Structure 1
Amino acid sequence: MLNRVKEAFQEPACEHNQSLNKKGCAKPIPGEAAGGCSFDGAQITLQPIADAAHLVHGPIACAGNSWEARGSLSSGPTLYQYGLTTDMNEHDIIFGSEGKLCEAIEVLVQRFHPPAVFVYATCVTALIGEDLEFVCRKQSNLLGIPIIPVNSPGFVGNKNLGNRLAGEVLLDYVIGTAEPAKTTPWDVNVIGEYNIAGEFWEIHSLFQQAGIRVLSRITGDGRFAEIGWAHRAKVNMVVCSHALISLARKMEERYGIPYFEGAFYGAKETSISLRTIARLLKDDQLEKNISALIRREENKLKQQLQPYKRFLQGKRAVLYTGGVKSWSVITALQELGMEIVGVGTNKSTLDDVFRIKNRVGSEVEFIESGGAGRILKTVKDKRADIVIAGGRNMYTALKEHIPFLDINQERHHAFAGYNGLVRLAKELVFSLNHPVWKIVGKKAPWEEAPFNGDENK
């Protein structure tokens, strides 16, 4: 496990290792995992594989991680929504619990009949030296299905490191283990897209209209078997490079599959991603199909956005998110006529920051750290009209009477693709124009008109 963690820190495709000093990614420091630990990151990546069983080997509190608040949807199986855990107690920690783990695996296989089981290590099981690989190998031979160890205990690093370690698990145990019934010249994999609020379905619809075939979903609305034949794709599209860039790079080295990073937030980014896929697939007919699709969708979009753009024109926003959304959502907001006055960069790569600067210039406030306090200060200093961030900042904004829109994993609206931009515009208008802002701005009735009667009556 130690070698695997070191390898993830030294990922050559990460911008931290492309500088002259090549120090590698930042090492974990105490308290760093407060925003999501490595175990949490591994579950975020793997649990959208909807037909597999996901077993947490650790105390029951670890099973109640932030995943249960995330909006990854499935078009079929629902096994991924079950909270499965070995529920370790003090006795198990003292005397070991490998036997308990074996029994738990057997019970869930007999009950659910999954195609595979992912078993997640936690801080406790790693510290007491549970041999996860041995148990999984033994049970896999006994039960005849893949039992896959996920060695990403929380203390080794933050959530993004866990994402990468989960990618290594897929590469070591899943990808290349199956063959598709057929292949086509237009097969692509979508990597690092988790189908939050059904966003992948918007992307998939566009692909189908253009003639692109999604061979494997890694991992939103994914299935275990299809990830097994991901090595037969012709192109990999990485939606969030901070999470799974190592997986894409190693698939290029091992299987010769080119990859690129793209996004589907906003019409411009969606069109660029579609054109890039066509260019990498080197198909003239596909390029014609995509050009026709883009013209049709963009023309339709102009008509749909007109009433919303009139209201949103000139509105000022603070965007506090990370990864691909830190720069791609900026493009979407600018297409709606909004001005970005503050951007969170604490979870963004150097490439993400470069893209942000190209889109907003140097006048914008970059919020590298500080959380709620810095967000509120930026809103006040820049006279922002709305905060667009994750759910953990919602109550901070609302208590200060600032309109808020949830853009992260907990949201219930799909903002990807051309149709997603229309939804984003609607939600922004609803948030900014909600009647509650007029109400909270008024004085209470007893403040407007002092009581002149007898207080004793």
Structure 2
Amino acid sequence: MSLPSAKLQDVFSEPACEKNQSKDAKTRQQGCSKPLTPGAAAGGCAFDGAKIALQPITDVAHLIHAPLACEGNGWDNRGATSSGSALWRTSFTTDLTELDVVMGQGERKLFNAIREIKQAYAPSAIFVYSTCVTALIGEDIDAVCNHAAAKFGLPVVPINAPGFVGSKNLGNKLAGEALLDHVIGTAEPDDAGPCDINIIGEFNLSGEFWLVKPLLDRLGIRVRACIPGDARYLDIACAHRARAAMMVCSTALINVARKMEERWDIPFFEGSFYGITASSQALRNIADLLVRKGADPGLVGRTEALIAEEESIAWKKLAAYRPRLEGKRVLLNTGGVKSWSLVDALMEVGIEIVGTSVKKSTVEDKERIEQTLKEENQIFESIPPRELYAMLSQGKADIMLSGGRTQFVALKAKTPWLDINQERHHRYAGYDGMIELIHQIDLAIHNPIWRQVREPAPWDSHSAVEHELTSTISVSATGHAGEKFTSATANAVGLG
């Protein structure tokens, strides 16, 4: 079954998207983002975005209905972490061949693959992803999923996000639509409480949400579902019974938060756990929303006490880094929530921001940055590699924080670099995460390797000396007095 145009238009016209609502009515009807040219995957296709948004659901088998190439290198390609099942790290594919396409065997092969996964792995659910090839030849994955679910007594969820329908960000939202249509609200918890919340758009990269969850536990706040980071299928199915929600990455799953508020009266706010101030404000907002929904009013006081205690500890630890980092210049080449939350976080310890890209950032994200940085020339929609290299090689920044794609630009410019995107190996969320981030920046900037690589190479130095000596010899050989070049002359210039 092809993706209904009404569904695409609904995602494009997202009312909670600040960028979309800033347009006039005519422009808004054209959609939030321009679909990619079929075959192009610059920045990731819709299938890629859907897989990214759902793969961290840990006890689900993710089955790609496609030729092998669509998922041939997809094992464990995200930095998300699980506290339970590792099933999500294994990618499954139907591996369609030309013969399967010509003979019309795709749907039969998909059904058999679902049966094999059920028998071999017993997952809590199976998510089936449509791709360019299977969508173009008209594979009805909805029908196959419905039949398999009835046959095997297992939730089998179709994810209709073939790559050619649009960008990676559109795929994120289509994944959210699949959760709303087939998962959220399909089960009822037997332990719903007044302090249950959802965290939406949090991927638990490197396990960083585990630095935040203990703080919520101390306040008696239960995370009903973290979507998708370290989530279980049943958690998401029961997510409609939460009392409040926090939206972490609005560019990815804002439609989920908005529709859950409409359907189940779950209020939400957009916040960040990057930085001391942002973490404290997020905890305050969570407590305020829960109290408004009927939780014990004493929760607000307990939250303030916890914030005061954690901030005191964090600032004492960060004080040791201030003399070493104050005035250091950082270039941020990231996007989304990190484009503004990290700006605030770094400036709190005296680090200077020389520029930040706002690619994939919402209008609200950009407004936050403008209020903080004050200077428009420090804000970039995107920075081409050539300009990025020029900035770094000219010494305009002491370190660059970005994703892996641009690390080689920094290395070529002999500039310290720190990974802050999904491939990172350190946790930067919450109070302890902020301390770790500053620690890693300190290690990177003061690593002695950078002083060494900036010095001329020994062979370059030797060539320079040799060139100078050759010039001296030439002058001596044809000196003003017309003297001959002799061994004595050679000894005089150090060559004898």
| TM bucket, shorter chain | over 0.9
CA distance in 2 between partners of 1:208 and 1:323 (Å): 27
* Distance 1:121-1:280 versus aligned 2 partners, 3 A rule: same
2:13 to 2, 10, 14: 10
**Residue 211 of structure 1 contacts residue 289 of structure 1 at CA under 8 Å; is this kept in 2?**
no
The aligned counterpart of 1:214 is 223
2:447 to 409, 428, 434: 434
AA in 1 matched with 2:231: G
Secondary structure of 1:218 counterpart: strand
CA distance in 1 between partners of 2:277 and 2:73 (Å): 35
Deviations along 1:402-449, whole A, 9 cap, x unmatched?
110100000000100000001001110111111111111111223334
**Residue 32 of structure 1 contacts residue 158 of structure 1 at CA under 8 Å; is this kept in 2?**
no
**Residue 318 of structure 1 contacts residue 378 of structure 1 at CA under 8 Å; is this kept in 2?**
no
CA distance in 1 between partners of 2:395 and 2:74 (Å): 32
Matching of residue 360 in structure 1 with residue 373 in structure 2: yes
Unaligned runs of 5+ in 1: none
Secondary structure of 1:84 counterpart: strand
- RMSD (Å) for aligned C-alpha atoms: 1.7
AA in 1 matched with 2:400: V
The structure that has the greater radius of gyration is 2
Secondary structure of 1:265 counterpart: coil
CA distance in 2 between partners of 1:118 and 1:293 (Å): 40
Secondary structure of 2:216 counterpart: helix
Unaligned runs of 5+ in 2: 470-489, 491-496
Matching of residue 73 in structure 1 with residue 81 in structure 2: yes
Paired residues in the alignment total 453
CA distance in 1 between partners of 2:355 and 2:239 (Å): 39
Deviations along 1:106-139, whole A, 9 cap, x unmatched?
0011000011000001111111111010010011
CA distance in 1 between partners of 2:417 and 2:72 (Å): 26
State the shift of 1:285 in Å.
1.1
State the shift of 1:160 in Å.
1.1
Matching of residue 296 in structure 1 with residue 305 in structure 2: no
**Residue 342 of structure 1 contacts residue 378 of structure 1 at CA under 8 Å; is this kept in 2?**
no
The aligned counterpart of 1:271 is 280
Which residues in structure 2 correspond to 1:14-413 (within 5 Å)? 14-19=17-22, 21-22=24-25, 23=28, 24-30=31-37, 33-64=41-72, 68-96=76-104, 97-282=106-291, 283-379=296-392, 383-413=396-426
* Distance 1:148-1:126 versus aligned 2 partners, 3 A rule: same
State the shift of 1:334 in Å.
0.7
CA distance in 1 between partners of 2:412 and 2:460 (Å): 20
**Residue 388 of structure 2 contacts residue 409 of structure 2 at CA under 8 Å; is this kept in 1?**
no
CA distance in 2 between partners of 1:65 and 1:163 (Å): 20
State the shift of 1:365 in Å.
2.4
State the shift of 1:364 in Å.
4.1
The aligned counterpart of 2:478 is none
**Residue 283 of structure 2 contacts residue 303 of structure 2 at CA under 8 Å; is this kept in 1?**
yes
AA in 1 matched with 2:144: V
Secondary structure of 1:340 counterpart: strand
Deviations along 1:50-107, whole A, 9 cap, x unmatched?
0110001101111146673321000010000012101111112222311111111100
State the shift of 1:381 in Å.
6.6
* Distance 1:67-1:8 versus aligned 2 partners, 3 A rule: farther
Secondary structure of 1:69 counterpart: coil
**Residue 32 of structure 1 contacts residue 157 of structure 1 at CA under 8 Å; is this kept in 2?**
no
**Residue 40 of structure 1 contacts residue 66 of structure 1 at CA under 8 Å; is this kept in 2?**
no
**Residue 121 of structure 1 contacts residue 150 of structure 1 at CA under 8 Å; is this kept in 2?**
yes
**Residue 343 of structure 1 contacts residue 364 of structure 1 at CA under 8 Å; is this kept in 2?**
no
**Residue 317 of structure 1 contacts residue 339 of structure 1 at CA under 8 Å; is this kept in 2?**
yes
AA in 2 matched with 1:145: L
* Distance 1:48-1:161 versus aligned 2 partners, 3 A rule: same
State the shift of 1:375 in Å.
2.2
CA distance in 2 between partners of 1:150 and 1:223 (Å): 17
CA distance in 1 between partners of 2:390 and 2:419 (Å): 19
CA distance in 1 between partners of 2:141 and 2:78 (Å): 27
Deviations along 1:311-354, whole A, 9 cap, x unmatched?
11011111011111111111111112111111111211111111
| TM-score, normalisation: structure 1 | 0.96
**Residue 74 of structure 2 contacts residue 91 of structure 2 at CA under 8 Å; is this kept in 1?**
no
Judge which range, 31-40 or 426-435, deviates more.
31-40
CA distance in 2 between partners of 1:237 and 1:397 (Å): 34
Secondary structure of 1:33 counterpart: coil
CA distance in 2 between partners of 1:408 and 1:68 (Å): 15
CA distance in 2 between partners of 1:32 and 1:92 (Å): 24
CA distance in 2 between partners of 1:371 and 1:64 (Å): 30
AA in 2 matched with 1:28: P
Judge which range, 64-73 or 172-181, deviates more.
64-73
Secondary structure of 1:100 counterpart: helix
Aligned-pair identity (%): 50
State the shift of 1:211 in Å.
1.8
Judge which range, 202-211 or 214-223, deviates more.
202-211
State the shift of 1:366 in Å.
2.2
CA distance in 2 between partners of 1:393 and 1:122 (Å): 28
CA distance in 1 between partners of 2:235 and 2:91 (Å): 23
